[in-house]
Amino acid sequence: MPRRRNQGLDRILGRVENLDETNLSILVDRLVRDRALLERVFDIMRDAILVTNEESVIEYANDAAFQLLALRRREIGSSNLWRRIPEVTEALQLDPERQRTAGFSASCEVQISYPETRVLQAYVVPLGEGADHDLEGGSVLILSDVTEMKHSTEELIENERIASIMMLAAGVAHELGNPLNSLTIHLQLMKRQMEKGRDGADHDRVLQSLEVCRGEVERLDGIITHFLQAIRPQPPDLRPTDLLQVLSEVLKVEEDLFSQRGVEVVIDVEAPPPSVPADPDQLKQVFFNVFQNSVDAMPEGGTIRIQWRRDPRHVYLILADDGSGIDPADVSRIFQPYFTTKEGGNGLGMMIVQRIMRDHHGSIALDSQPGEGTAVTLQFPVGRPEHPRLEEGS
């Protein structure tokens, strides 16, 4: 296949044979200046740019790349890029054949540990075949240092977490008030009845008051338990986990509830999803909360459909019901502490679900239409790459 040449360069080269020595010298000077200008532009850029040949050997690096990766000049033309930055190739799951595939490109966020710990946004794209250059089969890697932005985001999340805890504390104080008042009233009634005497009627009233007190104590215990789960979460014990296995265990426990409420669960899965790093116990808590919401949204019964899909880096588990759905004005508030549309709800369930998913390096999304149902999408990373220290040199 003939090589496709740059039209502008063709015009220049087509005139070379007609140029005298003076004009040829002018042309060469112009090309040298143009190259120097382009290199200057690349060196001004804050993003690191590296160009490799088909063997993944670094053929060019701008100033930002030398500084970010502690490259040395003698490494140009001899150092293998993917050995030099193994975190990127592991995160992108790159291999030489895939890199040369037409139209291939990939991006990811990755942490490197040498020469110092930094968080980078990496983007790699092949130079392509048949282009007018000597690096057929090579690639361009662009690295953006997002460490400070990442730290700012984490600081913002921490501030939001503190604000949420303050809201939780205020909510707990409010929630504790009612059962405490009820306990006080019934304890006073019990005291008066006991002071009057111990006839049958008084005895029954005391027993009733005791039963009310017992229920209120259980209610207080539930409030405190959910509060502690929200502000003092346990770090997940991440290990390879079969999502369908955990789902099956939860469905077995919920079998009676689904039967009583007329809910059918359909697992629409042709092939099992790959295992994901997860804490099975915390994952069960996620499923219990989501299923409970679905059941509550289908008082006349209905169907919960379970599906999954994936992309190169994530597995998506979709739990969809055909219940009453969520009002659009309420969707954005679902994960707020103490927001609930259910009578007797504590408003902490979905907040805890969101926190668990974040701790699993995943996320949760809601898609709901009033009267049509709600789809909950749980996103899990397929895996988390390790970040070994890099050795200097190639």
Residue 157: partners with Cβ closer than 8 Å, 6 or more residues away: none
Which option is the CATH number for 236-383: 3.30.565.10, 3.40.50.2300, 3.50.50.60, 3.30.56.10? 3.30.565.10
Q: pTM for the complete prediction?
A: 0.45
d(CA 263, CA 295): 7
CA angle (131, 133, 136) in 5-degree steps: 70
Indicate left, alpha or beta for 347 from its phi (over 0: left) and psi (-120 to 50: alpha): left
Placement of tokens 């296949």 in the chain: 1
Nearest CA among 380, 360, 381, 357 for reference residue 238? 360
- pLDDT per residue as tens digits for the range 204-250: 777 777 777 777 777 776 666 666 655 555 788 899 999 999 999 99
Write the CA distances from 83 to 56, 79, 115, 338, 340, integer angstroms: 9, 8, 15, 50, 52
Q: Where does 129-199 have alpha helices with state H?
A: 147-196
Q: How many CA atoms lie within 13 A of 344 on its CB side?
A: 4
**Token pair belonging to 228:** 């502690």
Mean pLDDT for the stretch of residues 129-134: 53
- pLDDT per residue as tens digits for the range 310-344: 888 889 999 999 998 888 777 767 777 666 666 65
- pLDDT per residue as tens digits for the range 246-290: 999 999 888 888 988 999 999 988 888 889 999 998 898 899 889
Query: What was the pLDDT predicted at 331?
Result: 73
168/276: higher pLDDT: 276
**Token pair belonging to 127:** 């130079």
For residues 94 and 81, the answer to whether their CB atoms sit within 8 Å is no
Domain residue spans of the chain: 45-145, 147-232, 236-383
Query: What was the pLDDT predicted at 386?
Result: 40
d(CA 237, CA 223): 25
d(CA 41, CA 172): 58
Mean pLDDT for the chain?
76
Which top CATH class is 45-145? alpha beta
Partnered with residue 380 across adjacent β-strands are 315
Q: Let me know if domain 147-232 sits in CATH 3.30.9.
A: no
d(CA 58, CA 148): 27
**Token pair belonging to 241:** 């986990």
- pLDDT per residue as tens digits for the range 40-62: 788 788 899 989 888 889 998 99
Write the CA distances from 68 to 49, 88, 147, integer angstroms: 10, 14, 12
d(CA 266, CA 363): 23
**Statement: residue 184 has pLDDT above 60:** yes
